[in-house]
């Protein structure tokens, strides 16, 4: 699966770099993995099996369990690395993972009918970068009662 190969390549690259370089590239590597998932999902058979038929045939519970054992584990690790690098606050990381997973799955489904899916992926990755920046320890808290 392309996402797993990409994740292995990222881990190998990290192992060859110094500690400071790893910190600098943590967000870029995380976003690259998210991009790899979105690019892989452009293949109609991948999108159909992973996001449409999988949940329908297996049932939501079994599909979700399989997702938790595969892609969610990669996202969990990536979100934890973001927190360890000080790029996001180290709280509610499971919720962050769930939100990123849901967003990526929805973008993958929406891209099925996009006129320019490559541009949509670029925009989605940039929006994800900005959303994660809002979780930085130095980010100002949202105003009380803001939705």
pLDDT in tens, 48-90: 888 788 888 888 888 888 877 778 889 999 999 999 999 999 9
Q: What is the pLDDT of residues 19-46, one digit of tens each?
A: 445 555 999 999 999 999 999 989 888 8
Q: Are 2 and 36 in contact (CB under 8 A)?
A: yes
Q: Are 41 and 47 in contact (CB under 8 A)?
A: yes
In a 13 Å sphere around the CA of 95, the CA atoms on its Cβ side amount to 6
* pLDDT mean over 118-135: 96
Phi, psi of 26 (to 5 degrees): -60, -50
Whole-number pLDDT of residue 30: 96
Whole-number Å distance between alpha carbons of 12 and 24: 16
Q: Are 90 and 83 in contact (CB under 8 A)?
A: yes
Cα–Cα distances (Å) from 54 to 27, 50, 63, 70, in that order, read 30, 5, 6, 14
User: Is the pTM value of this prediction over 0.85?
Assistant: no
């Amino acid at each position: 699966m392309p996402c797993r190969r990409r994740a292995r390549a990222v881990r190998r690259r990290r192992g060859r770099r110094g500690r400071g370089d790893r910190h600098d590239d943590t967000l870029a590597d995380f976003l690259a993995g998210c991009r790899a998932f979105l690019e892989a999902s452009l293949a109609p058979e991948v999108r159909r099996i992973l996001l449409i038929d999988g949940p329908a045939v297996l049932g939501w519970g079994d599909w979700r369990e399989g997702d938790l054992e595969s892609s969610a584990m990669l996202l969990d690790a990536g979100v934890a690395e973001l927190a360890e690098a000080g790029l996001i606050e180290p709280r509610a990381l499971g919720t962050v993972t769930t939100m990123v997973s849901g967003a990526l799955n929805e973008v993958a489904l929406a891209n099925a009918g996009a006129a320019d899916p490559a541009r949509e992926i670029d925009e989605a990755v940039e929006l994800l970068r900005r959303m994660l920046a809002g979780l930085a320890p130095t980010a100002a808290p949202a105003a009380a009662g803001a939705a």
